[in-house]
Amino acid sequence: MLEIVKSGGWLMLPIIACSIIAAAIILERLWTLQRRRVLPRDLTRQVWEWVSKNQLDREHLLNLQSGSPLGEILAAGLANRQRDREIMKEKVEDTGRHVVHDLERYLNSLGTIAAISPLLGLLGTVIGMVKVFAAITASGVGDPSVLAGGISEALITTAAGLCVAIPSLIAYRYLRGRVDALVVQMEKEAITLVEALARKHHLDTMGRRSESAGT
């Protein structure tokens, strides 16, 4: 393996670096974007139980905010549950944008690696062919061993670049799709909670007005 890397020339170094970075990003995102970490099961139902039983306090909000991306969005709505629906919805959407940005972290870098890896391989191919033609100019075509180095460098860098680019592109598309699916589900959960809180706030307000009118 080491001999193959040496035969590929100095351009194998950035290609190998790209492969290491891509592997690290893929593993980190696969761990971070697990559904149970982003969308804890029954979290919205548990939050609503806290609200219904008047058990929601600052400690619950802090734990909810730091527990998961969905919890952070729901906490934004709960912190503004006594305000109008539009204000509460605006706070949830603003927090959601920050959460989505965090979920997409490093994906642009992975996409960049998928794009530049074959270009690095192509550059290695060009450099290898330049060496081939330089050898032909200097020594002619009588000795095949003179040409072997340049041809080997050209083929190895191209193959290495594709070997990095193909799995990186597949992982990028997969992780992007996973983020989109998680975002859609978080939007549903957040909208459900916002609507429920808005109804509760409206009923509480009407109840207080009725009591005031009765007295």
Q: Is the dihedral of CA 137, 139, 143, 146 positive or negative?
A: negative
| Digit-coded pLDDT (tens) for 36-61 | 899 888 888 888 887 777 777 788 78
Question: What is d(CA 163, CA 68) in angstroms, rounded to the nearest whole number?
Answer: 35
Question: What is d(CA 120, CA 109) in angstroms, rounded to the nearest whole number?
Answer: 16
Q: Are 171 and 107 in contact (CB under 8 A)?
A: no
**What is the model's pLDDT at position 141?**
59
Assessment of whether the complete model's pTM goes beyond 0.85: no
Residue 103 to residues 74, 96, 129, 160, 187, Cα–Cα distance (Å): 16, 10, 43, 29, 14
Q: For the chain, which residues make up each domain, given as ranges? A: 2-214
Which among 75, 120, 122, 121 is positioned nearest to 94, based on CA atoms? 75
**What is the model's pLDDT at position 190?**
85
- CA 97 to centroid of chain Cα atoms: 13
Written as one letter, the residue type at 159 is A
Classified as helix, coil or strand, 142 is: coil
Classified as helix, coil or strand, 32 is: helix
**What is the model's pLDDT at position 41?**
85
Question: What is d(CA 5, CA 158) in angstroms, rounded to the nearest whole number?
Answer: 12
**What is the model's pLDDT at position 76?**
85
**What is the model's pLDDT at position 191?**
86
**What is the model's pLDDT at position 142?**
58
For the chain, residues with pLDDT lower than 50 are none
